[in-house]
């Protein structure tokens, strides 16, 4: 089993690639903040995932930036398991932003069928292209990270 920081780095690198951002998990959180409530309430676990992402980022920041803080005192095995599970959900396109993306795509298709074109925010366009490739990109990120460790 990986450590909290190892699992966080894997998740962060995946988010960087998927969201075309330098600040991976932070960008994921920022996008979640921007999703209208009418969509977020349709996705089971949205609020819990949002809180756990923020908690994980806070733990990571304390470990990395505060003197004398170590992951053994700040994180639990449940935190590590959650990070691994969330990463797997990204690969399987079952994470909150992938599910949101599916809702947006469906709305887009329905509006195109009725001739009513909706203007989507820029980040939803990124999601439309990015998270649909979640499994492939996550596998590439994992391969790159495993080579770094060797």
Tell me the pLDDT of the chain (150 aa) as tens digits.
579 999 999 999 999 998 889 999 999 999 999 999 999 999 999 999 999 999 999 999 999 999 989 888 999 999 999 999 999 999 999 999 999 999 988 888 887 777 666 655 545 545 555 444 454 455 555 555 555 554
The pTM of the full predicted model, rounded to 2 decimals, is: 0.79
- Output the pLDDT for position 141: 54
Instruction: Provide the b/e sequence for 45-65 (b: ≥16 CB within 10 Å).
Output: ebeebbebbeebbebbebbee
Q: How far apart are CA 143 and CA 137, in angstroms?
A: 10
Q: How far apart are CA 29 and CA 55, in angstroms?
A: 11
């Amino acid at each position: 089993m990986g450590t909290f920081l190892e699992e966080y780095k894997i998740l962060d690198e995946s988010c960087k690639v998927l969201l075309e951002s330098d600040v991976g998990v932070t960008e994921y959180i920022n996008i979640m903040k921007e999703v209208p409530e009418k969509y977020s309430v349709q996705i089971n676990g949205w609020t819990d995932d949002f809180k756990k992402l923020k908690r994980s980022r806070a733990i990571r920041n304390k470990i990395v930036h505060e003197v004398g803080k170590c992951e053994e005192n700040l994180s639990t095995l449940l935190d590590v398991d959650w990070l691994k599970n969330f990463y797997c959900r990204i690969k399987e396109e079952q994470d909150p932003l992938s599910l949101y993306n599916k809702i947006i795509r469906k709305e887009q298709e329905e509006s195109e069928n009725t001739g009513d074109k909706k203007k989507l925010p820029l980040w939803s366009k990124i999601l439309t292209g990015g998270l649909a490739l979640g499994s492939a990109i996550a596998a590439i990120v994992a391969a790159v990270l495993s080579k770094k460790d060797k």
